[in-house]
Amino acid sequence: MSEHIGSAISVDHLTRRFGTGEDRLTAVDDVSLTIAAGAVVALTGPSGSGKSTLLHLIGAIEQPDEGSVTVDDVVVSDLRRAALARYRQRVGFVFQRYHLLPALTVLDNVIAPVLPRRGRADHATRARELLDAVGLAGRERALPAQLSGGQQQRVAIARALMGAPGLLLADEPTGNLDSTTGGQILDLLLDLRDRHGMTILLATHEQAIAARCDRLVRLTDGHVTEDLDLTDGEDPADTYERAARLRL
């Protein structure tokens, strides 16, 4: 395990609503969770269950209507403006659709989140190290369109790690990939967790992906309906039997 330590998370009676009147929707409804530093947690549940909204609240992309989010000793839900921007720089985001900038090279896509900061040469060095870590050494000058879907997701992961985050939030990161490539992406994330000590929250519909995480939290209609510890001494290689029991 890396000497780096991931972020600990506490979610306390968190609620987020959208719309007004009869159209009002409660996407996250009184959710409370405690997540240990360095854990890999799968968020599962049907579409519309609140997985993405919960990730957005923890990552401060959205603000809660009620309740609080605390990451390490920072009450995220209380942050404003500059402090909020600083917090977001400590969090890595990986999305299903990659969100790479098509006109930029792979290297520049990885560097893009830290461009406002000084030290362009240092940024390029770190970006190359990360591309090597995700298996894309030598592809720095390629454009996104010249890469496969799995390679584009690897670029997105390298980009998410540019700020050396203690917390990585991944929203259906294997959803656009075939099962083999999706498994390789999860291998990469788990390896990066072991080397860099990150906490990872991973929203997924895929049984085989969820079964390899440390913990599974199932959401239904914005509520937590199941919370399973998957580190129960069972052989983690027995993915298929574990996946069958999870019934996503």
User: Which one is predicted more confidently, 99 or 9?
Assistant: 9
Torsion of CA 240, 2, 176, 41, to 10 degrees: 60
User: Which one-letter amino acid corresponds to residue 53?
Assistant: T
66-70, 112-116, 229-233: which is most confident: 66-70
Q: What pLDDT is attached to residue 77?
A: 87
Report whether pLDDT(115) > 80: no
Delineate the domains of the chain, giving CATH numbers in brackets. 9-90+165-246 (3.40.50.300), 101-164 (no CATH)
How large is the C-alpha radius of gyration of the chain? Answer: 18
171-188: per-residue pLDDT in tens? 999 988 898 998 999 998
Cut 0.85: pTM above it: yes
List pLDDT tens digits, range 38-60: 999 999 999 999 999 999 999 99
